[in-house]
Amino acid sequence: MTKRKDQIHLGAFLYPTGHHIAAWRHPDALADAGVRFDHYVEMVKLAEAAKFDLLFFADGAGTRGDDVDFLSRTAHSYNAQFEPITLLSALAALTTHIGLVATVSTSFNEPYNVARKFASLDHISGGRAGWNLVTSSNPYEGLNFNQSTQTPHAERYARAREYADVVTRLWDSWEDDAFIRDKESGRFFDPSKRHALNHDGTYFKVKGPLSVARAPQGRPVLVQAGSSEDGKTLAAQTAEVVFTAQQTLEDAVQFYADLKGRLARFGRAPDSLKVMPGIFPVVGRTTAEAEDKFHALQALIDPKVGLTLIQGLTGGFDLSEYPLDGPIPPLPETNTSKSRQNLTLDLARRENLTIRQLYLRVAGARGHWQVVGTPTQIADEMQARFEAYGADGFNVMPPLLPTGLRDFVDLVMPELRRRGLVREEYRGKTLREHLGLQRP
């Protein structure tokens, strides 16, 4: 295998207090971080100074169930935190280079609104916007949007394919130089460079054009997070970055080859899509220090929160009647997140984990790749996965904020730079330039 000549791309995936399920209870955490704008300003400036490609925010539009006792014990239920496009628009004014990626679901938003918001963010930021396209797998979100039952998985993705097509065509409503704004002639735009959609599809009717000029990047970068068969097909057809989760190097290499191998059928080159799995790094100057940091977080897990976490990851089925120190029972295929159910159940069976052991195993990364060790050990693991073509980069998921991101920037980044694996300086200003993606 030839040695890679490119470098690792990095995203900073920020969850308010950190990605560990019990992070908010840690003495170093800001428990009210979700509504602290100054907290996000500090984190994004830290990531930009470290020359990260992008900042990444997840989102949800509903609770994670009706168990108020459980919900009151966790900060991982999208309670008390900002709506991401609003937050990124504010952060855009305080940054100059780092990409700004927000999650917006195709399930509960109209394509025209999404196209308009992200095109606006791209203008505000000077070409740094990205949209993480998801279909909502949480049935409780639909209850806030006139939906009494959840849409089947395959239909959600069929709708999302049409949705992505409408949004990208709306972004192409105007040619780059359409707005001439000629005061002398009295012509504000060139009519020949305006393109209405007149879309009439299975799920949407959209006349167009978009009421925002063509974005600085041409189109904001399209990110996608699904790893099921439907998700991979959608990604191969539409995505430019894929955020994914694999536990082992073998699985990562297999996923990478599978996804890149699907691109040709849609007339796309392998380099037109970047694979960036999540990594949950717990960094210590020594192995013992890293393990102590991790165990301090693990000790804060409420058993009820741990059990409910596993129920969500394995398909939303009630496991409360099963013993915590017994195995995961056989479960039917879910209509929520199929790829995350498969990943979690495969992990439990591969390592012969009980329900309690499983929630302790995934309480930090929730199925993403977890690495606990020294800067050298973490850099070794990242380099191995990158050079084996299991990833083009990583979405860094700090276990605890603000200290987890600082640890990665202060300790791991210098080691990656010493090896020439990450950039020293930005070489462009747009997110597409950072990622090596062509402007459409």
**368-417 confidence digits (pLDDT tens):** 899 999 999 999 999 999 999 999 999 999 999 999 999 999 999 999 99
Q: Are 179 and 213 in contact (CB under 8 A)?
A: yes
- Strand-by-strand arrangement of the 129-134 sheet: 274-275, 241-242, 221-224, 129-134, 99-105, 54-57, 9-13, 393-396, 278-283, 369-373
164 belongs to a structural domain? no
417 belongs to a structural domain? yes
Question: Are residues 357 and 370 located together in one domain of the fold?
Answer: no
Q: Which two tokens stand for residue 310?
A: 């596993």
Question: Are residues 114 and 48 located together in one domain of the fold?
Answer: yes
Residue type, 195: H
Question: Are residues 339 and 239 located together in one domain of the fold?
Answer: no
User: CA 170, CA 116: separation in Å to the nearest integer?
Assistant: 8
Q: Which two tokens stand for residue 336?
A: 């929520």
208 belongs to a structural domain? no
Q: What is the pLDDT of residue 229?
A: 87
Within 8 A by CB and 6+ apart from 407, the residues are: 281, 283, 398
Question: Are residues 220 and 353 located together in one domain of the fold?
Answer: no
User: CA 173, CA 176: separation in Å to the nearest integer?
Assistant: 10
Q: Which of 362, 384, 411 is the last residue of a domain?
A: 362
pLDDT, tens only, 277-310: 999 999 999 999 999 999 999 999 888 887 877 7
- The packing angle between helices 338-350 and 355-362, to 10°, is 120
| pLDDT greater than 80 at residue 430 | yes
pLDDT, tens only, 306-324: 787 777 778 778 888 888 8
Question: Are residues 90 and 32 located together in one domain of the fold?
Answer: yes
How far apart, in Å, are the Cα atoms of 242 and each of 11, 28, 248, 263, 425?
12, 32, 17, 13, 24
User: CA 167, CA 297: separation in Å to the nearest integer?
Assistant: 41
Q: What is the pLDDT of residue 137?
A: 72
Question: pTM for this structure?
Answer: 0.90
Q: Are 273 and 239 in contact (CB under 8 A)?
A: yes
96 belongs to a structural domain? yes
Provide the domain limits for residue 315: 302-362
Q: What is the pLDDT of residue 188?
A: 98
Q: Which of 362, 385, 404 is the last residue of a domain?
A: 362
280 belongs to a structural domain? yes
β-pair type (369-373, 278-283)? parallel
User: CA 368, CA 278: separation in Å to the nearest integer?
Assistant: 6
193 belongs to a structural domain? no
CA dihedral 4, 130, 57, 387 (to 10 degrees): -10
Question: Are residues 224 and 136 located together in one domain of the fold?
Answer: yes
Q: Are 159 and 134 in contact (CB under 8 A)?
A: no
Question: Are residues 145 and 57 located together in one domain of the fold?
Answer: yes
Determine what percent of the chain is predicted with pLDDT higher than 70: 98
Q: What is the pLDDT of residue 1?
A: 52
157 belongs to a structural domain? no
Residue type, 269: A
Q: What is the pLDDT of residue 321?
A: 83
How far apart, in Å, are the Cα atoms of 417 and each of 7, 398, 406, 410, 421?
10, 19, 16, 11, 6
Question: Are residues 349 and 255 located together in one domain of the fold?
Answer: no
Q: Find residue 338's DSSP bridge partners.
A: none
**Vertex 403 angle, CA 401 and 296, to 5°:** 85
Q: What is the 3-state secondary structure (H, E, C) of 357-403?
A: HHHHHHCCCCCCEEEEECHHHHHHHHHHHHHCCCCCEEEECCCCCCH
Q: Would you place residue 331 in the very low, low, confident or very high pLDDT band (cuts 50, 70, 90)?
A: confident
Question: Are residues 269 and 344 located together in one domain of the fold?
Answer: no
User: Which phi and psi (to 5°) does residue 241 adopt?
Assistant: -135, 140
**Tally of structural domains, the chain:** 2
Q: Is the dihedral of CA 338, 340, 343, 348 positive or negative?
A: negative
Q: Would you place residue 334 in the very low, low, confident or very high pLDDT band (cuts 50, 70, 90)?
A: confident
Q: What is the pLDDT of residue 143?
A: 81
